[in-house]
Chains A and B, each alone.
Chain A
Amino acid sequence: MKNLWRIAGWEFRNRFRSRSFYFNTFVSPLLFTVLLTLPIFIFRYEPEISARLIGVIDLSGKNMSNSLQTDLNQFYRLKNQNPEYMIMKVNLNNNPFYSQLQAEYDEIRKARDSITTLFEAIRHERTSYYQQTAIPNREFLMQSSYEKLQSTREEKELIEVELERFRANMDSVYGTDARQTADSLLMARVLDAYLVFPPSFVNSGDMEYHSHKSAAFLETTRLEKILQNIIIDRRMANDNIERIKIRRWLKPINIRRYQLEAGTTREWNFYAQFYGPLIAVFLLFIAIFTSGGYLFSSVLLEKSNKILEQLLSSTRSGILLAGKFIGFGCLGLVQILLWLILLFLVQYSGYLPADQVSYLTLNNLALFILYFVLGYLLFGGFFILLGTISPTVYDAQQYNQSLRTIAIMPALLSLLVFSNPEGQLISILSYIPPLSPSFMIMRIPLSPQSLSSDIIITIALLLVSGIIIMLLAASSFKNLVLLQGRKPTLSEWWNAVKFF
């Protein structure tokens, strides 16, 4: 038995001093955590950039550029408080044809304004005749003002039709030429993007966004939100609805989430409650595969560099394997201890509030260690078995990769576990021994109900399967490990393991 502890101590010491242990203990979890949480930070990250110039081609006649600028200024500013977006109306001042059209349009509009003024004056005059019953020739004046009013109205209506027709023509020209202008401004990198508001914008909500930069399309959500508010305001104004009331009606709700757990209520935090268990699964995976991987590489190393034969002349194969298993298992426990110390330090220094890791109870910690030990027993057995029968290191690495893929599969199904930790599918998957540790470590903190029966079943299944695999592995190791350079045949393997 002394050799058992000597071998355990030797394997523990050698790996504890290796760089790979510290990499697996500190760098790998950090990498996992960063990879896991990076998308959230990227999603929430607002890069500091210079102001962006957005062109507007407004055919809606609703002066969208002013409203847009006002609202954008309200929500998006640079760190120096300058507006992040500058809205520029795309004009065609340098286009002679459009300028001529504009001049003609202005003239028609002036004529329309003049006739409107005349029309209003006649109407006013006629109103005064109507009110003053004592004036001489009242009937005549009424009749002549009526005729003037009629002819002026007809003239006004004709001018307005002409104005409208001209305006449509101008919009068409503007719509075409302004796009060309805006495109050339985009190509010259003057504009970051430009918007086109068609005449029907307020009713249909349809509009266009043009840019030359792919990244700019990711920002349309901001503009969409602002424009949505503007268009709602406009529609409400058209329908004479009080905006303040509507704003009050539409005020968003703010849900504070509380989870009832073991008789206590705690505020629910998505990142802590979801990512915490997920990180725990990765840590469990790292711990099992660090220890199991060392067990695997140790068998492979001793097999490939032929040291095994000399070791087996000094000690029994069972003692050799048990010593390795214990040594690397202790290394895994030390790794977990180091993580706990690290967690304690982070918590103690105030970077991680205690309520965000409230599921880290002694009970859960004990289960984490228990699932580590059982997972290590099972995967360690697989590793010894595969290390023994693999003719080359290359073959062994292929098997190793497959085992890792199986073990990490529950993490890929984390959303499924998150949505229903007590679901039937998840429960069934948890009963498959290679998947049990990862699934259970994720389910236990996420489930509002006690999973006692599932815990007992999975522990029993893991224990039984772990012992069987370990016995098969030990038999294979004892009888086949000195078989050099070739894989044992199935009958050789069966002969080696049939009596355990």
Chain B
Amino acid sequence: MQTEKVTTENGLIAENLCKNYGSEATVDNISFRVKPGQILGLLGPNGSGKTTIMRILVKILQPDSGSVTLNEVPLEQIPANQFGYLPEERGLYPRARVLESLVYFGTLNQMPARKAQVEAIRFLDRLGLVEFTEARINQLSRGMQQKIQLVASFLHNPPVVVLDEPFSGMDAINMVVLEELLAEFRSNGKMVILATHQMDRAEKLCDDLIMMNQGRVLIEGAPAEIKKQFRESAFYIEADEPLPALKSLKNIEILEENNNAYKFISKNQTRDISLILSQIDKRERIRKVEVFEPSLHDIFIRLIRQNSGVK
């Protein structure tokens, strides 16, 4: 795949994006940058503002303030076909045929019909759906329909691909296919923004991550950098009997508790375990103390709880 119409290497830059619905801020001063060949992951619980950001990028919504530029061109001046969008809510024309649907979406993104047809067949072949080109959409399984909609989102070879929960509802094989596609996008210099709940995949695929809650950024950066920030304040303790005093400490966040084994993160990011241990009785019952590297999921849970004020 060749990226078209990318004239400079500045990539996609969003600055101070804000969007309110009534008095409620859905997106609150969000900024990010995606360079060509980069994948940016947006992580956050439902209602954190990921979809709103994506809708702003593809011009379905207008931000209340802030700006977006693609290679220094303001978003308002960028043609729609420079973006490929896979919304979280999926759907196609149930009675239409596979190929004609894809050609329709391709032509809506300014592809010549013939080229759209050739590209659609090529992608269908790659995803193992070429024998269904003349089938009606409603004759296909849900998984197949998802793949077709995925193809519809990037058939026109846009420089920016925006995918909202692309792995949702996919089986393991198709997830691998999608990962390969995303890797291909990266190597072709596309800018990919994806929202997902699957932390392990986000960690694996994304160059940069933004963790969000209630429209605000909780943390951002490369996955490794984010994890590094929490690495030395994350501990694992195993004891012979339960440690209720540990759970009652206010300066730690218990991530996991299993058979008198506890995973926790120090809230004030203290790296001195002895300080923590000094606050609990039954210290003699502790068998094992380790510093461990928290997963993105652990960090995510911790940050969300912290941000929401939930213990």
Q: B104, A10: Cβ atoms under 8 Å? A: yes
Q: A6-B104, A306-B87 are in contact. Are A313 and B60 (CB under 8 A)?
A: yes
A309 to B57, CA, bound (A): 13
CA distance A484 to B55 in the complex (A): 15
Q: Are B90 and A314 interface neighbours, CB within 8 A?
A: no
**Does B89 have its Cβ within 8 Å of any Cβ on chain A?**
yes
Partner of B89, one of A10, A306, A311, A315: A306
Indicate if the CB atoms of B110 and A2 lie closer than 8 Å. yes
B300 interfacial contact with A, CB 8 Å: no
- Per the bound structure, the CA–CA distance linking A269 and B96 in Å amounts to 48
Q: Quick one: given A310-B152, A315-B80, are A6 and B108 in contact (CB under 8 Å)?
A: yes
| A302, B91: Cα distance in complex, Å | 8
Contact of A309 with B87 in the complex, beta carbons under 8 Å: yes
CA–CA, A484 and B149, complex, Å: 20
**Which residue of chain A has its CB nearest to the CB of B93?**
A307
Q: Collect the chain A residues with CB atoms within 8 Å of residue B60's CB.
A: 309, 312-313, 482
For chain A, the bracket of interface size reads 20 to 34
- CB within 8 A of A314: which of B55, B86, B93, B109? B109
Bound CA span A315–B110, Å: 10
- Quick check: is B92 within 8 A (CB to CB) of the other chain? yes
Cα of A247 to Cα of B59 in the assembled complex, Å:
88
Residues of B within 8 A of A305 (CB): 91-94
- Given A14-B96, A305-B92, A305-B94, A310:B107 Cβ within 8 A: no
User: Chain A, 292-307, contact with B by CB distance < 8 Å: what is the 0/1 string?
Assistant: 0000000001101111
Complex interface: chain B residues within 8 A of A3 (CB): 108
Residue B194, interface by CB 8 Å: no
Given A14-B96, A305-B94: A310 touches B109 (CB 8 Å cut-off): no
Closest chain-A Cβ to B32's Cβ sits at a distance in Å of 19
Contact check: which of B83, B90, B104 meets A313 at CB < 8 Å? Answer: B83
Question: Is A310 a contact of B104 with CB atoms below 8 Å?
Answer: no
> Do the beta carbons of A306 and B91 come within 8 Å of each other?
yes
Q: How many pairs, one residue from A and one from B, have CB atoms within 8 Å of each other in the complex?
A: 61
Q: Tell yes or no: A7 within 8 A of B by CB.
A: yes
B117 cross-chain contacts in A, Cβ below 8 A: none
Write out the residue numbers on chain B whose beta carbons fall within 8 Å of the beta carbon of A10: 104
Residues of B102-161 whose CB lies within 8 A of A:
104-105, 107-110, 149, 152-153
Tell yes or no: B58 within 8 A of A by CB.
yes
Known contacts A313-B83, A314-B81, A6 near B107 by CB under 8 Å: yes
Give the residues in chain B near A2, CB-CB below 8 Å.
110
Cβ of B230 within 8 Å of any chain A Cβ, yes or no, is no
Residue in A301, A302, A315 whose beta carbon sits within 8 Å of that of B108 in the complex: A315
- Chain A residue contacts of B95, Cβ below 8 A: 14, 18
Residue interface mask A85-99, B partner, CB < 8 A = 1: 000000000000000
Shortest CB–CB separation between residue A295 and chain B, in angstroms? 15
Contacts of A316 in B (CB 8 A): 80
Tell me which residues across on chain B come within 8 A of A306, comparing CB atoms. Answer: 87, 89-91
* Contact indicator B92/A313 (Cβ below 8 Å): no
The complex places the Cα of A311 from the Cα of B58 at a distance, in Å, of 11
The reply to whether B85 and A313 form a contact with Cβ atoms under 8 Å apart is: yes
In the complex, per-residue mask of B231-252: 1 if CB is within 8 Å of any chain A CB, else 0: 0000000000000000000000
Q: Would you give the 0/1 interface string for A306-345, flagging 1 where the beta carbon is closer than 8 Å to chain B?
A: 1101111111100000000000000000000000000000
Indicate if the CB atoms of A7 and B93 lie closer than 8 Å.
no
Tell me if B59 and A313 are in contact (CB < 8 A).
yes
Closest A residue to B83 by CB, please name it: A313
Contacting B at CB under 8 A, from A3-25, are 3, 6-7, 10, 14, 18
Distance (whole angstroms) from the CB of A441 to the closest CB of chain B: 33
Q: Are B59 and A310 in contact (CB under 8 A)?
A: no
A239-272 near B? 1/0 per residue, CB < 8 Å: 0000000000000000000000000000000000
- Contact residues, A456-500 vs B (CB, 8 A): 482, 484
| Residues in B whose Cβ lies below 8 Å from that of A312 | 58, 60
User: Which residues of A sit under 8 angstroms from B93, Cβ to Cβ?
Assistant: 14, 301, 305, 307
User: Which of chain A's residues have a CB closer than 8 A to the CB of B86?
Assistant: 310
Neighbouring B residues of A314 by C-beta, 8 Å: 80-81, 85, 105, 108-109
B92 to A7, Cβ gap below 8 A?
Answer: no
Q: Which residues of B contact A482 (CB under 8 A)?
A: 55, 60
Q: Give A116 to B91 CA distance when docked, in angstroms.
A: 108
Using A305-B92, A482-B55 as known contacts, list a sample of 13 further A-B pairs with CB atoms less than 8 Å apart, ordered by residue number in A.
A14-B93, A304-B91, A306-B89, A306-B91, A307-B92, A310-B105, A310-B149, A312-B58, A312-B60, A313-B59, A313-B85, A314-B105, A484-B89
22 residue pairs bridging A and B, Cβ less than 8 Å apart: A3-B108, A6-B107, A10-B104, A14-B95, A18-B95, A302-B91, A306-B87, A306-B90, A307-B92, A309-B55, A309-B89, A310-B85, A310-B152, A311-B108, A313-B58, A313-B80, A313-B83, A313-B87, A313-B162, A314-B85, A314-B105, A314-B108
User: A residues touching B (Cβ–Cβ < 8 Å)?
Assistant: 2-3, 6-7, 10, 14, 18, 301-302, 304-307, 309-316, 482, 484
Interface residues of B (CB under 8 A from A): 55, 58-60, 80-81, 83, 85-87, 89-96, 104-105, 107-110, 149, 152-153, 162
Give me the 5 closest cross-chain CB pairs, A-B, nearest first. A306-B89, A305-B91, A306-B91, A313-B85, A309-B87
